[in-house]
Amino acid sequence: MRLNAEQVETFEREGFLVVPELFSEEETAVLRADLPRIFSLDRPEVPRSASGVPLLAHRLERYSEAFGLLLRHPRMVEPAMQLLDGPVYSHQYKVVTKPPFGKLDLPWHQDYGTWHAIDKMPECRAMNFALFLHDVNEFNGPITLIPRSHREGVLDAPVEALDGSSSFAKLTNETVTRLATEHGMVAPKGPAGTGLFFHGCSAHASVPNISPWPRDNVYSSLNRTDNGIRNRGRPEFYANHEIEELVPLADDCLMQFARRQGNAA
């Protein structure tokens, strides 16, 4: 799937692009159906809070066939190849889960800030794709971005510990105040199946889910194959040590999978 010129221009100007109805209800249902099993797994890739609540699930392609297909889905991989102007591999791949009335929040950061500071990724030739697995509204913890913040490149951000996750480069309140005063904030919302592409240097954060509705987003962080990390110090599920080019699958791969499941049942 190729983005049109207006979509590319929006991504380059704003640092993000929302694509409504990128995936169908049937396709997101296939992915959602595997979440209870995924979050019951006792694996290092599925970290929990001190009280045992699952927070994230990393490197899903290892233990979920449906998410393995999504990782190579052409509606995700091909726009990333287009925007980054070259072949890509998966640097990170995870679901961030926000159950109803959950506590998980994430302070302001640029993903590339961490990838650069800790993983020594040479250039910001990396980006994120997020797929909403549930409807996202203003109450269930939408990701919040500062438009145009990507234009400033890597901002000064001290590396800090983060509960239930790897250390990361957190933007200071002074930096966020300056950026938000200039550019405002947006929290993209929409039904399950909405796609959100965002630049590796886009400043973003997220607030807890104060609603009775779940909010699980899947994030694929894609890096150009010629921009591999130089420091392999973090566990590989936070920062992939292998560069394996993502070759897009057929556009209907999730529905083919659903049919196979149905036939096997």
Contact footprint for ligand AKG (CB under 6 A): 96, 106, 111, 141, 143, 204, 206, 217, 219
Between 110 and 227, CB nearer to ligand AKG = 110
Nearest 5°: CA angle at 132, between 101 and 50?
Answer: 40
Between 202 and 253, CB nearer to ligand AKG = 202
Residue 261 CB, nearest distance to ligand AKG (Å)?
27
DSSP 8-class letter at 119: T
Between 158 and 262, CB nearer to ligand AKG = 158
Whether 106 and 246 have beta carbons less than 8 Å apart is answered as: no
Between 106 and 201, CB nearer to ligand AKG = 106
Between 199 and 204, CB nearer to ligand AKG = 204
CA distance 190 to 134: 9
Q: Is the dihedral of CA 81, 78, 130, 70 positive or negative?
A: negative
* H or E stretch at 83: helix 74-84
Q: Which residue has the tokens 């509204």?
A: 137
Ramachandran area for residue 19 (φ above 0: left; ψ -120 to 50: alpha; else beta): beta
Residue 13 CB, nearest distance to ligand AKG (Å)?
21
Closest-CA residue to 96 (of 246, 250, 230, 216): 216
Residue 182 CB, nearest distance to ligand AKG (Å)?
21
Indicate the residue whose CB is closest to ligand AKG.
206
> Please, what is the angle between helix 253-264 and helix 25-32, to 10°?
60
Residue 4 CB, nearest distance to ligand AKG (Å)?
27
Residue 175 CB, nearest distance to ligand AKG (Å)?
16
Between 35 and 106, CB nearer to ligand AKG = 106
Residue 104 CB, nearest distance to ligand AKG (Å)?
8
